[in-house]
Every structure is written in structure tokens, then in C-alpha cells.
Structure 1
Amino acid sequence: MRFSCVPLVQFSLAGFAAANFFHRNLAYHSPFATHPQLAHDTAKINENGIQRRQDIDSAAFRDGHYTTFYGGDFSNTPFIWGGGVNFTHAVASGDPFDTSVLLWTRAVPLSSSSGALPNVDVPVCVAYQVGTNPDLTGRIISYGERFTSYDVDWTVKVEATGLKGGYKILLSSRMVQSTLRAHNTTADIFIHLGDYIYESLGNGAHIGRQTLGRELATIKDYRQRLNQYRTDQSLVYAHMHAPWITVWDDHEVSDNPWKAGTADSNDTAVGCAFSASGACFTDRKLAAVRAYHEWMPIRQVDPQDKLRIWRNFQIGKLLDLTMLDTRQYDRDITDMYYNTEYVNTIAAFANRSLMGAAQEKWFFDTVSESKNRGAVWRVVGQQIVFTQLNELGAFDLDAWDGYRANRKRVLDHISQNRISNTVILSGDSHANWVSDLAYPNDTTTYDPISGKGAIGVEFAGTAVTSGSSFGSGITPTAANVISNQLIDLNPDLQWSEGSYRGFFTLSIDPNHLNATYYGMNNITFANLDGFATAQFVVKAGQNKLSRPVAGGSVLAGVLQAQVNVNSTDDNH
């Protein structure tokens, strides 16, 4: 696939409605496509920015659409940018279906040779082509043109259609001169479970990751932070070489959110003054959501439901990948540090919801339909640790432990409807956890040694570079002391590791699901010095981790009881 800039001399507006070329850029659609105040009116953008200049005498034209320049005289403004364009962040893809995929780029007008900035009201036209091979010498299967403008931070999102299952997605653009050497792991799809950015200034300066700006509150703030993160070379490489399927966690907006606020912002007078911007929670959240949809290759699921990103991907009969939103959508009040004791008193209330009633019903219907259609695996991507974790006498009330009845409803639905081969993926915690899914601490029906009584598996991963929840910079030896204590307290927990930063991969076929965890030896600079810390197998139909867990041996962390090493994968 290639994006390119179309100069004015190669592009004619005659014979079509130019508004379509704004409208067909999906960045203008999401996430507020039908909201009367927050939507982008592409017809109005076209009227003010292009056709009125094309069709009428513009000598006295004053543009009222571009609020930053309200009342400005644009009589000499060209109707389309004819200068150079910088594809500032290469290209990306996401949300693949069997016959289509979303493509993304960003096309920013270049300054003139004198250094003067271009008029930001001028739209840029971008052309794209999708071919059967990376250099586009084969058959072209999808192509088109789209407009972008500063209204959507110069981003472009299109849906490439006409694809066939099995195409490997390799992206290129004219601004890309070289790529990093091949990494030691490959993937057909990247799944990101949230915290793609952090809203705070962070503490990454000591490893060369000083963030720009301030704590995020306005659309400018969120755009700037996404812009900065997306300049990371390894992230560019990953986005170019495989489609991403993402959900947000909390920090894409702010720490520990619920449906009416976050840990440091709400719509009270105090909350509105949390930063120099004076932004209230509602404005802050809408700004964050808009910027996320501009910068991420993610589909707009439902234009009537602007906060909905929960969605499902059917990958043949092999699996359903179901992505949930357990953070931003319709979550009841969470632990915001000052109210921990209160949330602890209501954590088990039956009416507490982590997902909201609409999402919860959709989730149950989706996994049931997955079983009914004959899919082998059900992989659920969501943000926070699902399994109960007694953390030395305390529980993370911002995870599923703060919404225990909601968790029980999920376990009940899976168990009572005999929905087999369910694997939950979790992020957020900055540590590695692998568990059999079972009713918490119910060792009368679940045997942690054999796995009998389990109804699924959870794989939870750590952060790429952010510090461990066991303690930032904690050594493997010190982390294992804590892991040993956690293993003793939590019979469902089969592996705990809290020192190494990294990621994990899944390899899935009709008979096995394999999870391999990777740890990086050094995160102070970009490098490939990592190793496989542990490997786990789930056999289709067994609904538990195969025994001996991780083959009885790991290179980091602690296995449950460190026993049963010599047993075979049981049939008992």
C-alpha cells in the first residue's frame, strides 16, 4: 500500500462533489459522526474551504468555519494545497476484516522554501493504492483519493476493500527510505490492550523519553502526545508491518476513570481546575476520544454511540477475538485513591457493573454466537486483571476485584452455557500473570495442581518500558520473593513475574494455543536483547493450562507450587 500527495495539476474537481473526498476520509467520521455539536460537517468544510472558492467570486470571502481565524480574509487562498507534503508518521493499518482493512497516514503541508508556514485552512489531497505486492508492480485492488485538513490534525483513514483472506499486509509510503532490521518475533496482528499513551508528564526522561507539553487536557494536548509517541522507530515499524487491533485503557484519557470522572478530574469546580487548562472532565474526555480516533487505525463501531469501541473480529472458524472496554464506557465508580475504603464496601454489590448493561449483554451474546457458529477459540482482549488477586491482604479495586458480581456473571455465563476454549487477555498491571480461570478461591471445584475444574485461561502481560507494580526497577530476585507470596495466596494463579519489561505472543491453531512471554534485559535504550521467559500451552477442549504448567520450568518468575513437574498432561 502506498499513500502519496496529489498536486493540484494532477487533480481536477470538475464533475464530482468535492465534499465526498472529505467525507470518505474516515477520520472526519469518528467518534462524533452524528453528534450535532461535535461532528465534523464535511459538507460545510467543503463549502467554506473549496467549492465557494471554486464557484463564486471570492474577493470578499470571509471564512467563518475556521474558528481560530474567525473573520479572516481568505480571498487569496487556493482551494487545495499545491505544495509539498510531509508524511510525518509513515503508515499504519488496523481492524482487519476478511475483505477489508483500515489504512492510516498523516499528510502535513510543508513550509515554503522561505520558511513560511502554509495556510492551515487549505485542505490536502492524498491518493492511495493497495496492490498485491509491496512495490505495487502487481494488480491494484483498491485505490482512491481523500482530503484531509487541520480539522482532523491532517490524518487520513480509509477502508481498503476487495481484499482476500491470507493477504499479508506490508505498508510503505514515499517518505519511508529504510526500515529497521527484522525483529526476532513476527506477528500477523498486533493486539494492544490500552495505555497506548500516558496523560501525565511521566518519568521517562532518564531513558531518553521525555514527554512534551503538560498533563493532557485539551485536543491540542492529546494530539501532541500521540504525535510524539508515534515517532518511536520501533512503533513505526510495528504499525507498518502488521495491522493493529486496539482498545484504550485509562491513561488515554486520565488515571482511573469511571463514567463520571477520573482520579484527578471531574465536573466540579475543583475538578475543572486540576491543570492550567481549567478543562472539566467531560471536555477532557471528549478531547481524548477525538484525538484517539484521529490517530489510531480503529473503526467507528456505532456512530450513534460515540464512546463504543467494544467490537468483535471473526477469524474464520479458528477464533473470535472479542475486544471489550472495561475502563471508559459505562463503568460504575472506581477506586480513585481518596475513596478506597468506600469502594471496598461496595465491591461485591450485585448491581455494580464494569462494562455497563449494554456491553455486558453484547459480550454474552457474542461469545454464545461464537460457540454456535463453531469457532474453536474465544479470545477476549480487555484491559485489567480478571482473576482474583489477593495482593498480600489487599485487592486492586480498580480491576475486576472491585466488581466481583460482574466477574461472577461472566464466569457463570461461560460455565453454564458450556462455552469452551475461552482465553482472556489482560493488561494494565505492569506485571506478568498467568492463571486458570475458576471461581475465586473455590478449591472444592478447582484443583490448582491438575487444573481440574477450570473453565478457561487468563494471560496478563506487563508494560513495554513503564515501571513494575512490584516496584520500579525491582530486580528479578526481589520480584520473585513477592511472586512466591502471591502464588501462596492465590490458588488460581499459576505463574507470577514482576521484574522484566516486555510482551507476549500467541500462536493459535485448531488444537493448541501457545503463549510465549518475552522479557527485555535492558530498557534504557532501543535494542533487541530479550529472551523468552516462559511458554504456556492450552489444548483445545481442556479449558486450562496444560500440565506441567510451562513445561515445569521458566526462566523468570515463579510457578504455582513448583510441583507436579513429572506429571503428564492429565486425563483425570
Structure 2
Amino acid sequence: MNQPGGSDNWNRRKLLLASATTATALGLGSGAATARTHRSVGRGDPFTLGIASGDPDSEGFVLWTRLAHEPLAEDGRGGMPDRAIDVEWEVAEDERFHRIVRRGTARALPEWGHSVHVELAGLRPGREYFYRFRGCGHLTPTGRTRTAPAAGTVRQPLTVCTASCAAWEHGFYTAYRRIAEEEPDLVLHLGDYIYELGHLQYPLLSGIARSVTGWQARTLAEYRRRYAEYKTDPDLRLAHRTAPWVVIWDDHELDNNWAGQHPELPQPEFDRRRADSFRAYYENMPLRAGNRPRGGDMRLYRRIRWGGLANFHMLDTRQYRDDQACGGLVGPCGAESAPERSITGERQEKWLLDGLRGSHARWDFLGQQVMFAHHDTLDGPLTMTNMDTWDGYTTSRRRITDGWLNAGVRNPVVLTGDIHEHYAADLKRDYADPDSPVVGTELVTTSVTSGGDAEEGEFTGDPDNPHIRFHSGMRGYLRTRIDAERLRADFRVLPYVSRRGAEASTKASFEVDDGVAGLREVAPS
């Protein structure tokens, strides 16, 4: 990986940012201007939703785009004709495409929203690549991606940025631009990429109003339009084409706090709505064909291997879970500890435990959605916990924790989103026992925008949750640097999201040493 400030980084950043500026100049920006200018492309540029790559392995990755002449067309078809369209793609070893290593043509089909998913194989491991698409007489900006290192490789360090929860109505996507400027090797998005709730249902907390699709998404056309609205943002598009993404959903890609076959509130045709949202999710994400939904079923849990350094076990804690205990309200009420309850479902739990037993990686990450550590949200002797998190599935949490302990996992780390706040926590097998040893680490990323601007309060420790080492309510993202000897987590924050241009700073930093369970606070960088 190039060192920050080097000429290669500088040239690449100028190239990527210049492309973003050009796209904005063409009327592909965000905010109120989007509502006025999205039709200005007419039948011209079909790449208004950007390009992306994802799910890398040691031989390749997925390339993605979705064609839309009119991204916010009310029928969800993006102003595209009802026929297949050929899209050319190229992959090169350099930004100028002097050393092209692969090229081909893919068909963008109307039944899949004119999305394109190209799966590359046979490339060299641990290498940086560049890609672009051409179609309808237009050429996309250049995207940067990479392959994972060869199996067993542990000496190639890894930088990962983790993001979650990007309510369009609550702020601008500056955090995505700051992620792009980090030039990470990998971006993990842990859910709530969109919000099905429009600004008429989701109150404006930040005092800005930039939505033109204000009603709740319930149909395929409405979900497609909501993704298109989000993807008109130049900062999001820049982050997508700067690094490969690994994505997983949470609840707002479908319905707030949905659980398995259960919507938050009773509603007709939930099965049809679920299938429509799954289809739109696949159409708009850099996923492999094996993740393509079949009606209301879509297997998203999967494993990304980064040489011998890291395994990322990406979990789906929505599709297979039992309904929330205690009527979906706060607990505990006793029902949350029923032994048969699961947040992952039996098949996914077995898949995870088998993967942990078979892992030879230096670091094993569980990429998932809701807080794993016990979290008492009520001050004083009484306890109050959130039934939508792992606190609502305590025996499920115990089985997973025992699973990595029994497997002898060298360095277990849980990566989490959802809660709109940064947390760093030591994980324990038994949170009721103060002498229970530390058995792992949880790193929770705050939201990109959800919750709007936030002033930082001072965190001086939480006597009700002594295992929680750090907390911040500001917006931002998590930057994690991983090598064979240690992991370093930098909690990056923005002073505001109600307008563009905020600079990112590090609020706190922690390290985890190889083979030593528990967080060690270090000077921020």
C-alpha cells in the first residue's frame, strides 16, 4: 500500500476527485439541486448512479454499475428502455489503462433494473487494479479496486474503513468523501445504506431538507428510486469507486426493526414488499450472482478471506432471527434468554461456527449490524436493554462466544453498526460476573449522517457497563489498520453534517495486540 503523501497517492487522488468534480458539474450532485437537474442528462449519460467494486478474493472481485438516464424517474426504471443494453468493461493495472488485463461486454437487463454485475477471476493476488465501463456512447470515471492477498499471506497490512446508517434527510455524505481520501484497501458497510422512511416519516433532526422522495418506500419502483436518490450524491459515488466494498444490510433497507417474517407493525403484503426490497438491494450493490435473491430469500452471509491475515465473517442478523422479545420493547423480561431463540438462525449459526473452527487467520472479524456486547442503558441498579440487539438474544450470543473460545480463535473482533454512535468494548463471556475474563473486542462505528449534527459529551466511564471503554455520539466512520502484530482502531468524527466540507479528526484510538484479548487505548492519530 502506498504511503500517504507519496506521488502515486497524490496523482490518484487528483484523478478520482477530478472525476467527481466533473460528475457534479454535469448535474449529478445532491441536495435540492438534484430535484432540479436530474432530468438534464436526458437520454445522455446512463452512468448517473456511479460504479463500484466489491467482495474481493485472491483472484478477482465484482464490478458493478446500473444504467439510469433519469435516476429519479417515478416508475423506478431510470428512464431506460424496456430492452437489454450492452455495456463494455475494462480492467487495467494502471490508471491510464495502458496495461489492460481484461475486457468484456455485459448485458444490462430491464428485469434487473439495468444493473450490471461482472465477476472477475484469474487476476493476480494482492494487487491494485483500475476499471471503467462504456455504454450508450459514454465512458465512466475510473474506479480503483484490488484483489485479496494469496492464501496464507500475513505480512501485507490492511486498512479497512467501516460505515453504517446514512439517512439522506439528516445530513450530507462528507464522511464518505473522507473515507475515499483514506484510500482504504476495503470498505465495510454494515447496514442502513438507505432508509425506507422518507423525510415525511423520519423527522429532520439536522434542519436540512434535501429529499425529493419523501414517502416511505414499499414497492420495487419506490425502493429503486430511493437507491437512485442516494447514489446521486457525489461523495458516496466517490467512496464506491475508490475501494472494493463488502456490504450487508440491516433493517432500513426493508422496514424498521423487521425480524425474519415479522414486520415492525402488521401490514398487508409484507412478503411482496420483502421480495421487492431484496431485489432492489441486489440491483444496487456490488454483489456476486450467488447472492441474487429468489423472491423473499436472499443469502447475504458470506466470508471474505484476506490472505492469512484476516477473515471477515459477514452476518445477516435480520432475515433469520426470531421476533424481538418483550413485545419488541426494552427488557429484560425473561423471554430474551430463552434457549431456543436465535438472532442468526440455526443454519447461519452453524456456518459461522464451522468457519471459526476452520479458521487459520490471524484475525477473525464478525461484520454485523447490532450491538453485541451487553449494554445497560439505564443508570443505577435497575437494568434496561434493547431487545433489537444481541441483548435480546442472550443465549444466541453465548453460543457464538463459546464457539470462538472452543475453536481457539486467535483474535476475535466484532464490527458493528446500527446504533449511530461510536463504541469500543471489551467482550466477556458472562457480563454479570465482574471477574469474567475478556474474550474479544467489539468496535462499533457511528452513523454517516443518521441523527444529524451532534455535540460531543465527555465520556468518563460507565459504571453500569465497565466493559465499554469508549463512547462518542458524533457522526463519522471507523478506520482500522491491521497487521500481523496488532490492530489499530481510529474512531473518526465530523464536527457537523448539516453542510458539506467538514474535516475528519480522530476522537480516540485503541490497539489490540495479537494474541492478547482486550483494548489498549493509545494516542489518537
Q: Per the shorter chain, which TM-score range? A: 0.7 to 0.9
Once residues 501 and 454 of structure 2 are traced to their aligned partners in structure 1, the CA distance between those partners, rounded to angstroms, is: 20
Partner of 2:440: 456
Q: CA deviation at 1:341?
A: 6.8
Structure 1 residues 104, 474: closer, same or farther in 2, change over 3 A? closer
- Could you list the per-position Cα deviations for residues 399-429 of structure 1 after superposition, in whole angstroms to 9, with x for gaps in the alignment? 0000000001111112233222000001101
Looking at structure 2, the residues matched to 443 and 359 of structure 1 have their Cα atoms a distance apart, in angstroms, of 29
The match for 2:230 is 229
Could you give the per-residue CA deviations for residues 371-403 of structure 1, whole angstroms, max 9, x where no partner exists?
A: xxx311101100000000011131011000000
CA contact (8 A) 1:92 1:243 kept: yes
Does residue 87 (structure 1) correspond to residue 54 (structure 2)? The answer is: no
| Contact 1:213–1:224 (8 Å) recurs in 2 | no
Letter paired with 1:524: S
User: For 1:107-506, what aligned pairs fall within 5 Å after superposition?
Assistant: 107-108=67-68, 120-138=81-99, 140-173=100-133, 174-176=138-140, 184-201=181-198, 202-204=202-204, 206-264=207-265, 266=266, 271-272=267-268, 280-301=269-290, 306-328=297-319, 330-334=320-324, 339-340=328-329, 344-370=333-359, 374-392=360-378, 393-446=383-436, 453-467=437-451, 473-477=453-457, 480=458, 483-484=459-460, 487-498=462-473, 500-506=474-480
Q: 1:411 to 1:169 in 2, by over 3 A?
A: same
Moved more, 208-217 or 228-237: 208-217
Using the TM superposition, give the Cα deviation of residue 290 of structure 1 relative to its aligned residue in structure 2, in angstroms. Answer: 0.3
Question: Is the radius of gyration larger for structure 1 or structure 2?
Answer: 1
Closer/same/farther in 2, CA of residues 281 and 474 from structure 1, 3 Å limit: same
Measured in 1, the distance between the counterparts of 2:373 and 2:455 equals 25
Using the TM superposition, give the Cα deviation of residue 284 of structure 1 relative to its aligned residue in structure 2, in angstroms: 0.7
SS at match of 1:476: coil
How many residue pairs align between the two structures?
A: 430
For 2:492, the equivalent position in structure 1 comes to: 518
Deviation at 1:315, TM superposition (A): 0.9
Shift of 1:503: 0.5
Q: What amino acid is aligned across from residue 522 of structure 1 in structure 2?
A: Y
Opposite residue 166 of structure 1, the aligned amino acid is G
Amino acid at match of 1:507: R
Q: Distance in 1 between matches of 2:338 and 2:85?
A: 53
Whether the 8 Å CA contact 1:300–1:309 is kept in 2: the answer is no
CA RMSD of aligned residues (A): 2.7
AA matched with 1:195 = D
Distance in 2 (CA, whole Å) between partners of 1:178 and 1:124 is 21
Distance (whole Å) between structure 1 residues aligned to residue 70 and residue 466 of structure 2: 59
Secondary structure, aligned partner of 1:536: strand
5+ residue gaps in structure 2?
Answer: 1-42, 72-77, 144-176
Cα distance per residue 1:80-121 (max 9 Å; x no partner): xxx86521222110111111110011234689xxxxx98822
Deviation at 1:475, TM superposition (A): 2.7
CA deviation after TM superposition for structure 1 residue 122, in Å = 2.8
For residue 152 of structure 1, what is the amino acid of its counterpart? W
Supply the AA of the counterpart residue of 2:304: F
The separation in 2 between residues aligned to 1:351 and 1:122, in whole angstroms, is 48
Deviation at 1:544, TM superposition (A): 1.3
Residues 1:97 and 2:57 aligned together:
yes
Q: C-alpha distance in 1, partners of 2:283/2:411?
A: 35
Give the drift of 1:473. 4.8
Cα–Cα, structure 1 residues 211 and 254, in superposed 2: closer, same or farther, change >3 Å? Answer: farther
Deviation at 1:445, TM superposition (A): 3.4
Whether the 8 Å CA contact 2:187–2:244 is kept in 1: the answer is: yes
Task: Name the CA shift for 1:496/1:141 in 2 (closer, same or farther; >3 Å).
Answer: same
**Higher RCO by CA contacts (8 Å cutoff, separation 6 or greater):** 2
Which stretches in structure 1 are left out of the alignment for 5+ residues?
1-82, 112-116, 273-279, 447-452, 556-572
> What SS does the aligned partner of 2:490 have?
strand
| Aligned partner of residue 46 in structure 2, secondary structure | strand
Residues 390 and 135 of structure 1: is their aligned pair in 2 closer, same or farther, counting only changes over 3 Å?
A: same
- Superposed CA offset, 1:26-78 (max 9, x none): xxxxxxxxxxxxxxxxxxxxxxxxxxxxxxxxxxxxxxxxxxxxxxxxxxxxx
Q: Percent identity?
A: 30
The corresponding residue for 2:157 is none
| Structure 2 counterpart of 1:190, one-letter code | V
TM-score, normalising length: structure 2: 0.76
> 2:508 aligns to what SS in structure 1?
strand
Query: How far does residue 494 in structure 1 lie from its aligned partner after superposition?
Result: 1.2
